[in-house]
Chain A
Amino acid sequence: MSAWEFFRGNWADILAHVQQHLLLVLISTSIAVAIGVPLGVLLTRHRRLRAPVLGLANIMQTVPSLALFGLLIPIPFIGGIGRSTAIIALVLYALLPIIRNTVTGILGVDPNVREAAVAMGMSDRQVLWQVELPLAMGVILTGIRVAVVITIGVAVIAAAVGAGGLGEYIFRGLRQFDNRLLLAGAVPSALMALIADFALGTLEQRFDASARRSSKNRSVLRRIAWASLALLVALGVWGVWRNSRRAASEPLNRARVVVGSKDFTESLLLGEIVAQLLEARGVAVERRFELGGNLAHQALVAGQIDCYPEYTGTSYVEILKHPPATDPRAVYEEVKREYAEKFRVEVGPPLGYSNDFAILVRGADARRLGLKTISDAVRYAPTWRAGFGQDFMSRSDGYAGFARAYNLKFSAPPREMDLSLTYRALASNQVDLIAGNSTDGLISALDLVQLDDDRRYFPPYEAVILARQDSVTRVGALREVLNLLSRAISTEDMRRLNYDVDGNRRDRQTVAREWIRKAVTSDK
């Protein structure tokens, strides 16, 4: 299926994402204008505040967006996952150009004109509104334009905290090596940025007081500018309206559960399965998927989601900070006990498979060199390059311990890259060894071979569903679903499901639905 056909087949979904994206941009730049312009005006009145406030806004812009999201999540009320966090981060990014241009614009007003205004008997407020702001409007609008274009770009990252938007396509596309998804995210956001830049740029000229002339020259360009701006705003507003209508049509007395997931296919699939099972039991489900890093855990503890799929090894090592252990049973029990105690979170019964770290090499290499275990690969490693996801590089049961356990040395320090890119890098000979996930559907699709962990270094990663205790008590169906999924999915199942999405490019909702129909007898 070509990119064009994909666009045609999914235009409604793409449009919905465009609307989410626009809404994020509209709301956050509106807030940034509402804060930034008055703040800028204030700074022109209080010279001493100028340097510290502009400095702070400057620093805000240099904080990497993902880091900013991470910092905001634990903050009560304003933080957490979802749209509000994204909007706050976007506002912080948009502030600098708006404040700076407001200050520059107002200070740039000819002092003679300002003095004339005062001498005519205008009040401070009248000088501001009738003289300074109109004369500075061109410069202020430039700041707003820059802010809007920045926001359209940065809003892509908003998908990482579950705020939706076109970033969902981009993240998903990266994960699934699907260029059509990448294009579905990148093309509309680039178009949006271009349209906004052009339209606001044209309007700036209209407000450039120094060029003002009486000829009512309504150029075609300016009409197009107004029209395209109006179109963007209308699209966003339509999105709000649709959202609110959907929310209003939901009966209030239905039980509500927010299902989360991490940001990789398997977690998304499990989340989707849980969501569909709950929906089949009359529960209103909100999906907060694709939460990167530890966001899902933080959101669960903060009560912003009710449940999400997790792996016991991750909880044991990453969250509870234990040294890696090898006994699956012991790890599960310990995690269950400590989660109940520390987080008031229930660890559901094991789903029946584990997703361990899989050390992968190309099938061709494995056959040529007769590689079966990781130990077999140790003597070739000094001529190899390795590529690992950020996760594997940083976690305590990741690269450092792994290299030590096997006494592994590579020709160069491992390349750190996005996990989903490591598969592609391995298949295209960019690197020679990666650490993937044992249930990844791409392993067979890309003809990769998993080397056996013969020294039992990696801790077990049994899949489980984590759910807040109060949610399980509140929604009976959630308990039912947890029990239903006990030992319901085998490693083979999971690999196949993953490959259906990643390899066969099938829709994850459909894949989840089919699996439920086949495997869960009570839901036929």
Chain B
Amino acid sequence: MLKDIPDQDSAGALVEFRDVSYSVPGVAAPIISGLNLTIERGETLVLLGESGCGKTTTLKLVNRLLLPTKGKVLVEGRATADWDARRLRRRTGYVIQEGGLFLHFTVERNVALVPSLENWEKERVRERVRELLALVGLEPKAFAHRYPRELSGGQRQRVGVARALAAEPPLLLMDEPFGALDPLTRTSLQREFADLSRRLGKTVIFVTHDVREALTVATRIGLMHAGRMVLLETPEKFLASEEEHARAYLETLRVGEGRVRDRRAGRHQ
């Protein structure tokens, strides 16, 4: 899978943002400004921030859904502008809320999408679908021929992850993938997913506004505010950070926990 990568220092950075800005014509404030960021192979970088801070835009700059208006985004050492867009996207798994599944495709066809686009042999595709469904915890026999409407939210999300992994991309982009799930399902999926990506050695860029989720899945957390990266730290250092936005996020965490503690205490009295 990695043999045709042109980059020399392939052992290190998989994605690199070099002084990247992105703005929309007619809108004064840039959505992203002066972003410098290096994403190493095998890490799970979580982009954390409130709505409109530019985290989804950052993600879309990686698989060339958007091109930077200034600067360069390098994937495997090559600027996204120089990549063949389709080739780049097929090497990049993409998961969005609700999975972005095709309602008119069965689970099997949804998962098989990229391998089919890449003209894999039928038998190999089928084998791969079975493998992936098992990997994300869905019994292949029971689920392969169902349609997305017949699945629960959590099951749909698992299919979304399986689809993103199908063609063995080195890189996964995830945009609030678990956002629409109930808290219990979400927590168990977060754990499972963190395990899985570590096991498969995938590089992941993960967008969320949920600090708890960030702490669960991240190897590094990039905190964004108004189009800028204000903090880039490991979860441990993030927890100890004195940066004002980070503190604000951590405060929400403490309020929640505090209340839980208070209640428990109250009940014990």
Q: Which of A293-340 contact B (CB under 8 A)?
A: none
Contacts of B87 in A (CB 8 A): 121
User: Are A131 and B102 in contact, with the CB atoms below 8 A?
Assistant: yes
Known contacts: A112-B98, A213-B149, A213-B150. The answer to whether A119 contacts B65 by CB under 8 A is: yes
Contacts of B63 in A (CB 8 A): 119
User: Are B98 and A212 in contact, with the CB atoms below 8 A?
Assistant: no
Known contacts: A112-B98, A115-B96, A214-B146. The answer to whether A120 contacts B103 by CB under 8 A is: no
- The listed residue (A115, A117, A119, A214) touching B102 by CB distance below 8 A is A117
Q: Does A113 contact B (CB under 8 A)?
A: yes
Q: Does B219 contact A (CB under 8 A)?
A: no
User: Are B147 and A213 in contact, with the CB atoms below 8 A?
Assistant: yes
Contacts of B113 in A (CB 8 A): 120
Q: Which of A193-246 contact B (CB under 8 A)?
A: 209-214
- The listed residue (B90, B96, B103) touching A212 by CB distance below 8 A is B103
User: Are B104 and A119 in contact, with the CB atoms below 8 A?
Assistant: no
Measured in the bound complex, the distance between the Cα atoms of B60 and A118 in whole Å is 11
Q: Does A123 contact B (CB under 8 A)?
A: yes
| A residues neighboring B (CB under 8 Å) | 112-113, 115-123, 126, 130-131, 134-135, 209-214
User: Are A115 and B114 in contact, with the CB atoms below 8 A?
Assistant: no
Contacts of B150 in A (CB 8 A): 213-214
Q: Does B94 contact A (CB under 8 A)?
A: yes
| B residues neighboring A (CB under 8 Å) | 63, 65, 85-90, 92, 94, 96-104, 106, 113-114, 117, 145-147, 149-150, 163, 173
Known contacts: A118-B65, A119-B65, A121-B87. The answer to whether A135 contacts B114 by CB under 8 A is: no
User: Are A112 and B100 in contact, with the CB atoms below 8 A?
Assistant: yes
Measured in the bound complex, the distance between the Cα atoms of B163 and A259 in whole Å is 68
User: Are A209 and B96 in contact, with the CB atoms below 8 A?
Assistant: no
Contacts of A120 in B (CB 8 A): 89-90, 94, 113-114, 117, 163
Measured in the bound complex, the distance between the Cα atoms of B17 and A104 in whole Å is 39
Known contacts: A120-B90, A121-B117. The answer to whether A214 contacts B106 by CB under 8 A is: yes
User: Are A119 and B94 in contact, with the CB atoms below 8 A?
Assistant: yes
- The listed residue (B89, B102, B149) touching A113 by CB distance below 8 A is B102
Contacts of A210 in B (CB 8 A): 103, 149
A216 to chain B: closest residue by CB? B145
Known contacts: A210-B149, A213-B147. The answer to whether A121 contacts B89 by CB under 8 A is: yes
Give A231 Cβ to nearest chain B Cβ, in Å.
Answer: 28
Measured in the bound complex, the distance between the Cα atoms of B147 and A122 in whole Å is 21
Known contacts: A115-B65, A121-B89. The answer to whether A126 contacts B145 by CB under 8 A is: no
Contacts of A211 in B (CB 8 A): 149
Contacts of A214 in B (CB 8 A): 106, 145-147, 150
- The listed residue (B86, B94, B104, B173) touching A123 by CB distance below 8 A is B86
Not counting A213-B150, A214-B150, a sample of 16 additional A-B residue pairs whose C-beta atoms are within 8 angstroms of each other reads: A112-B98, A113-B101, A115-B65, A118-B65, A119-B65, A119-B92, A119-B100, A120-B89, A120-B90, A120-B94, A122-B117, A126-B117, A212-B147, A212-B149, A214-B106, A214-B145
Measured in the bound complex, the distance between the Cα atoms of B103 and A135 in whole Å is 8
Q: List 6 A-B contacts (CB under 8 A).
A: A113-B100, A113-B101, A119-B100, A120-B114, A121-B86, A121-B114
Contacts of B145 in A (CB 8 A): 214
Contacts of B101 in A (CB 8 A): 113, 116
Contacts of B96 in A (CB 8 A): 112, 115-116, 119
A119 to chain B: closest residue by CB? B94
Measured in the bound complex, the distance between the Cα atoms of B98 and A126 in whole Å is 22
Contacts of B163 in A (CB 8 A): 120
Give A190 Cβ to nearest chain B Cβ, in Å.
Answer: 35
Known contacts: A120-B114, A212-B149. The answer to whether A115 contacts B103 by CB under 8 A is: no
B100 to chain A: closest residue by CB? A116
Measured in the bound complex, the distance between the Cα atoms of B101 and A116 in whole Å is 8
Measured in the bound complex, the distance between the Cα atoms of B86 and A113 in whole Å is 17
Measured in the bound complex, the distance between the Cα atoms of B104 and A120 in whole Å is 16
Most chain B Cβ neighbours within 10 Å, of A131, A211, A212: A212
User: Are A115 and B104 in contact, with the CB atoms below 8 A?
Assistant: no
Measured in the bound complex, the distance between the Cα atoms of B104 and A130 in whole Å is 9
Measured in the bound complex, the distance between the Cα atoms of B101 and A303 in whole Å is 60
Contacts of A123 in B (CB 8 A): 86
- The listed residue (A113, A116, A135) touching B94 by CB distance below 8 A is A116
B163 to chain A: closest residue by CB? A120
Give A395 Cβ to nearest chain B Cβ, in Å.
Answer: 60
Give A220 Cβ to nearest chain B Cβ, in Å.
Answer: 23
User: Are A121 and B100 in contact, with the CB atoms below 8 A?
Assistant: no
Give B50 Cβ to nearest chain A Cβ, in Å.
Answer: 20
Measured in the bound complex, the distance between the Cα atoms of B104 and A211 in whole Å is 9
- The listed residue (B99, B100, B149) touching A115 by CB distance below 8 A is B100
A134 to chain B: closest residue by CB? B104
Measured in the bound complex, the distance between the Cα atoms of B113 and A130 in whole Å is 10
Contacts of A130 in B (CB 8 A): 102
Give B163 Cβ to nearest chain A Cβ, in Å.
Answer: 8
Contacts of B146 in A (CB 8 A): 214
Measured in the bound complex, the distance between the Cα atoms of B187 and A28 in whole Å is 58
Contacts of B98 in A (CB 8 A): 112
Measured in the bound complex, the distance between the Cα atoms of B192 and A477 in whole Å is 93
Give B171 Cβ to nearest chain A Cβ, in Å.
Answer: 12
Contacts of A117 in B (CB 8 A): 102
User: Are B89 and A209 in contact, with the CB atoms below 8 A?
Assistant: no
- The listed residue (A112, A134, A209) touching B97 by CB distance below 8 A is A112
Measured in the bound complex, the distance between the Cα atoms of B149 and A135 in whole Å is 14
Q: 3 shortest A-B CB distances, which residue pairs?
A: A116-B100, A121-B90, A121-B89
Give A120 Cβ to nearest chain B Cβ, in Å.
Answer: 6
Most chain B Cβ neighbours within 10 Å, of A119, A131, A134: A119
Give B107 Cβ to nearest chain A Cβ, in Å.
Answer: 9
Most chain B Cβ neighbours within 10 Å, of A113, A135, A210, A213: A113
Contacts of B85 in A (CB 8 A): 121
Known contacts: A112-B97, A112-B98, A115-B96. The answer to whether A209 contacts B90 by CB under 8 A is: no
Contacts of B99 in A (CB 8 A): 116
Give A217 Cβ to nearest chain B Cβ, in Å.
Answer: 13
Give B151 Cβ to nearest chain A Cβ, in Å.
Answer: 11
Measured in the bound complex, the distance between the Cα atoms of B65 and A122 in whole Å is 12
Contacts of B104 in A (CB 8 A): 134-135, 209, 212
Give B91 Cβ to nearest chain A Cβ, in Å.
Answer: 8
A124 to chain B: closest residue by CB? B86
Contacts of B103 in A (CB 8 A): 113, 135, 209-210, 212
Contacts of B147 in A (CB 8 A): 212-214
B97 to chain A: closest residue by CB? A112
